[in-house]
Amino acid sequence: MNQEPLISVIVPVYNVEKYLDQCMESIVAQSYRHLEILVVDDGSTDASGTMCDQWALRDQRIRVIHQNNGGLSAARNTALDVMHGEVVMMVDSDDVLHPHCAAILLDIMRQQQATMVVGRYIPFTGNTPEWPSAASPQPAIHRFDKRNAMLAVLYQQGLTHSAWGRLYQASLFNDIRYPVGMYYEDFAIIYPLLNKCETVVTVDATIYGYRQRQSSILDSFSPKRADVLKIGEALESHMLQADQQYLKAVRSRLLSAYFNILLLSNQDTTLDHHALQERCWNGIKRLRFNCLMDPQVRIKNKMGILASYLGRHFLCNVVGRNYTPKP
C-alpha cells in the first residue's frame, strides 16, 4: 500500500434530501484528504439528485452518477465497477462520519496489515451524534483471522455484517458484488468477503454515526425482510455440503433470523403473515435444541429458545410484545 492510498468512499443516494447535506459535509471534512467520493443517485424523486450535483461543484473529489432506481445493492455495485481506490468505504447517505473516521481506520489498516478494519458506531436520532468527548490516543484493537472473524459474525459476538463503519482492501470486491433486489445484502456477501480476508481488525474507536429513523428498512416490517431467511438457509445448505466448520455458527445466526422475523411479523397487522410465521416457527423448533446445547450461542438466543418451549403464543405475545430490531 502506498504512503497515501486513495480511499474510494461510496455513497448510495435515494430520496434523502433531509439528511444528505449533513452526510456529505462529514465526508468532505475528513482529516484524511486523499478521497475519491462516488455518489450514486439511484433514481431519486426528491431534490437529492440536484443536491448531489451541487456537491460535485463544491468539491472536485466528488463524482456523481445518476441511474434509474435499482436499490441499494445496484447503487453500490455501480460505484464498485468504476472506483479507483486501493481501499474502499461504504457510507449510507443518512449517516455521518466522525471527522477522523478515514484516518483512524486507515492508520490501523496499515499498522496491522489488515484486509478489513471495523470501527464502532453510535446510533443517533437528532441532528448530530454525540461523539465521545475524548478518544484514546491508542484505542484497543482486536485481531481476527478469517475463521474467527466468520464465527464472530455468525455468533453475533462483537463483529457485524454491516457494510458501513469499516474500511476494506478494494481487492476484496474484485469478483464480489451485492445481490440486487435483496434485503440484508451485506449479510449475503459476508461469507465470500471474509473468506478472502487474511486479517480482520476491530478498533474501539467510535467513528460512524448511524441514524435511526422510522422509515428505514430496519425499523419497519415488510415481507421482503424474509430475505434474511433465504440467505441464512442457503448458507446452512452450503455449510452442510462444503464447510461444516461453520455449520453450528450459521444455525445460530439463522435461529436469530427466525426469531426476528417471527416477532416482527407478529406485530404487523396490515397483512396476513401466516405462511411466513409458520416457516419461522418450524425453523425455531428444528434448530433450538442444538443451539441450546452450543456454548457459543449468545444468551439472548438461549432465552428465546427457553421461551419457545413454553409455546408459540407465549413467545410471540409475551416475550415479543415490546420487541424491536437492532441494526
Do 41 and 133 share a structural domain?
yes
Record the pTM: 0.93
Do 131 and 53 share a structural domain?
yes
Do 231 and 204 share a structural domain?
no
Last residue of a domain, one of 211, 230, 260: 211
* Torsion of the alpha carbons at 103, 108, 111 and 113, rounded to the nearest 10: -110
Do 282 and 182 share a structural domain?
no
pLDDT for 91: 98
The structural domain count of the chain equals 2
pLDDT in tens, 172-203: 999 999 999 999 999 999 999 999 999 999 99
Mean pLDDT for the stretch of residues 253-263 = 96
| Cβ–Cβ < 8 Å for 22, 128 | yes
pLDDT for 319: 78
pLDDT for 327: 41
**Containing H/E element for 57?**
helix 48-58
304: which strand partners? none
Last residue of a domain, one of 157, 176, 211: 211
208: which strand partners? 97, 121
225 falls within a domain:
yes
Last residue of a domain, one of 211, 229, 263: 211
Do 154 and 45 share a structural domain?
yes
Strands 62-67 and 35-42 turn out to be parallel
Do 34 and 160 share a structural domain?
yes
The Cα–Cα gap between 177 and 173 comes to 7
CB atoms inside a 10 Å sphere around CB 201: 24
Do 166 and 251 share a structural domain?
no
Mean pLDDT of the chain: 93
- The percent of residues in the chain predicted with pLDDT above 70, rounded, is 94
Domain that holds residue 253: 221-322
Per-residue confidence at 93, pLDDT binned at 50, 70, 90?
A: very high
C-alpha cell at 38: 462516488
260 falls within a domain:
yes
CATH of residue 97: 3.90.550.10
